[in-house]
Amino acid sequence: MMASIQQVVFPFIVCLLHGFLICQGAITGGMLYAKESESREVKELNGLWNFRADKSSARDEGFTQKWFMQSLAKTGAVIDMPVPCSYNDVTQDRTLRDFVGWAWYDKEFIAPNSWGSTLNRVFLRFESAHYNTVVWVNSKQVVTHEGGHLPFEAEVTSLLNYGQENRITVAVNNTLTPDTLPPGTVTHKSDTKRYPPGYYVQNLQMDFFNYAGIQRPVKLYTTPLVYIDDITINTTISGSTGIIDFSIAHISGAVNVTVELFDAANQLIAKYSGTKGKLTVKNAKFWWPYTMSDTPAYLYKMKVNVSSSGVHDIYRLPVGIRTVKTTDKQFLINGQPFYLHGVNKHEDADIRGKGLDLPLVIKDFSLLKWLGANGFRTSHYPYAEEIMDLCDKLGIVVIDESPGVGIKTLENFDNTSLAHHIEVMTEMWRRDKNRPSVVMWSVANEPNSKASVAGPYFKSVIAHVKSLDPTRPVTFTIADMPFPPQLDQAAQYVDVLCINTYYAWYSDPGHLEVITLQANNDLVEWHKEFNKPVIQSEYGADTIPGFHVDPPLMFTEEYQVEFLKNYHAAFDQLRKDFFVGELIWNFADFMTDQSVTRAVGNKKGVFTRQRQPKASAHLLRQRYQSLINDTLTNCNKHNNIVKSNTIL
C-alpha cells in the first residue's frame, strides 16, 4: 500500500514505513569518540557521495522502490554531494535549498582486507545527521536515529565484504514536528486554487535555518573483540591534590584493566588496576579558563588498557582536573569566582551550513581569542566534537545546550516530547560528560516557561540531567522578557538564571535610553525572586554592515555600538554582586528562514557571515580584554593561578 504523506513526513510518530522501523530505541552502551590507537583503526568516509532528494509528492518513492537495494545512480539522476555538509546551499536549485522530506545518499568504499580478522569488530559511526536517519550497508538496514547534532553508530562486522567494494546508503528526513527537538509543524494547503495538489509547508519554531543532511564526518572504526565500551570520569580537588574518579565499561568476560595517567610531558604519574577507582595527583596542575591563568587548560592524558587472553584494547583521552560549583551569587571554577564574558555561536553561520569545516572552526577560535572571549553557549544544539576538543585544549568554557529551542505549544510539552527530550539529554551527557570545558548543561532555549505544564516538564528533564551528572550546574535560557519572575513556572529548578533580553530592540525599539535602567531593575528582580546567580545569556541588535547614521538609528553600526554600551553599563553595576556572565547575541550573522523581519538572515552578529568585524566587534574586544585584566588583577593566588597581564 502507498504510504500517506503524513506517514512519510512524520516517520518518528508513525514509527513504521513499509516495514522499516524508524523509531529510536533505548540508549545502551557508550559513545567514545572514534580515534586510532595501538588496537583501533579508523577509516574516514568523507568526500563526495551520490545524492538525490526524493521529490515525489508523498516523499516515499525511495522506500516504495527500495532505492537502498542498488546503487543510487541506478534509481535516477544523482548529483555529487560533499559529506560532511548541509545540502541546502550547495547548488543553485531553490527547491533543494528549501526541501522538506527524505534525502538519499550512497557511497561505495573498500573495507580493508586486514579488517576481516575474526579478532576484530567494525563499527560504522555518524557524528551527526539531521534529523531522522535510516542507514543500510550492502542493502541491510543497520541503524536508525532520531535527532540531529549527536553521534550514532552500529556494528557492521558481519555485513562487510573485506577486500572488496561495499555500499552505504543513507536516507535523512529533516521534517520537524511538535515532538522533535527543535519542534515544528507542517501545514497542508488544501486550496487547489492557490496551491498545487499535495502542497505543504514546514513551519519552524526557531529563528535559524533548518539546514539538513549528513552534517558531520562518517567513519568506520575497528575494535578488538574485547573492547572498551565507555569511560566516565569525575574530578575533585583537595588543596593542591587532584582526584580523578573513573569507571570503565567493557565488552567481554573476565578482563584485566589498567588505567595510567601521564602528564603533558608524557611522564607516568599515577596507575591503577581495576574497572573503577581513583587516581590521586599531588601538586596537580588544574584546568583553568585561559583568562584566569598564564598556564591555562592543563590536560593530563589517561590511557586505558583492557586485556583478556592476549587480546588488548587501548583508548586514550585527555583529562582536565577542575571543579564547578555555584552559590546564590557566584559561579566558581576550582573554588575561584569566575565571570563569563563570551558569545553565542551558530555553527550554521556560513554557506557550509552545519557541516563541520575545520578551516572555519580555526578561524572562529582565532576570532574568539582576538575578542578576549573566555567561553560560549552552544546555541542551540551540541557542536562537533572537534570544536569541543579545542575548547578543552584552549581553556574555552562551554555552556552545552541541547536542541530544545522553540518549546512553546502544549504539544511540545506532552509525554512523547518529554521522553525524547530526556533521551537527547542522555545522548548529550554520554558524549560530553568527560570534558573539562563543559561547565554547565542547558536543557532548552527560550521555552514557554510561563505555561503551567512547563514546571513539571522541566523539573523532570533537569532532575534527569542531575541524576546523570551531579557535578555540573543545569540551566535553560529564559525569554519573552520582560515579564515578572513570579510568572515563571520552571526557573526554580535551575542552578543559574540565564536570561535573554532585547531592550530597545524587541521591546521599546529605538529607545536606547531605557536599556540600563530596565536591565538593572529586571535582573535584580529575578535574582531576588530565585536567589541564584544570573547570566545575561543573550542581548543584541540587528546590524547591517556598512550602514551608518548619526545620531544612531536601528540596523546601523552606530546603533549596535550604543546598544552594547548601555547594556555594559548595567553589567558593570551588577557584576559586583550576583551577576556572573554576559554572552553577546551573536558571534556572527547567520541564516534564518525567509520572513519579512529578516533580510537574508539574522544580522545581530558582531562579525559578518564572512567573519569580518563590525564596529561592535572592536568595542567588545576592548571590553573583554579589560575584563581579562580585571580578573587577573583581582584573582587571589590559589594553587596554580599566576597573575599575568598577558592577553592571549
Please state, in angstroms and rounded to a whole number, the distance separating the CA atoms of residues 381 and 424. Answer: 10
Please state, in angstroms and rounded to a whole number, the distance separating the CA atoms of residues 219 and 129. Answer: 13
Q: 152: which DSSP letter?
A: E
Q: 202: which DSSP letter?
A: E
Is 36 part of the annotated catalytic residue set?
A: no
547, amino acid identity: F
Joined together, the cell numbers standing for residue 587 give 558571534
Please state, in angstroms and rounded to a whole number, the distance separating the CA atoms of residues 280 and 242. Answer: 6
Question: CB-side exposure of 531: number of CA atoms within 13 Å?
Answer: 1
Other beta carbons less than 10 A from residue 177's beta carbon: 21
423, amino acid identity: E
Catalytic position from the list 446, 538, 562, 582 = 446
Could you list the beta-strand ranges (E) of 116-173: 120-126, 129-130, 132-137, 140-146, 152-155, 165-173
**Calculated CA dihedral for residues 146, 150, 156, 161, nearest 10 degrees:** 110
Please state, in angstroms and rounded to a whole number, the distance separating the CA atoms of residues 236 and 231. Answer: 17
- Treating both helix axes as pointing N-terminal to C-terminal, what angle do 358-371 and 385-394 enclose, rounded to 10 degrees? 30
CB–CB of 465/501 below 8 Å?
Answer: no
- How far is CA 593 from its chain centroid? 20
CA-CA distances (angstroms) from residue 499 to 21, 183, 405, 533, 581?
Answer: 40, 21, 14, 11, 10
Please state, in angstroms and rounded to a whole number, the distance separating the CA atoms of residues 126 and 385. Answer: 12
Residue with cell string 528582580: 525
CA-CA distances (angstroms) from residue 50 to 53, 138, 168, 169, 345?
Answer: 11, 15, 10, 9, 31
Residue with cell string 601521564: 262
- How far is CA 493 from its chain centroid? 22
Catalytic (active-site) positions: 446
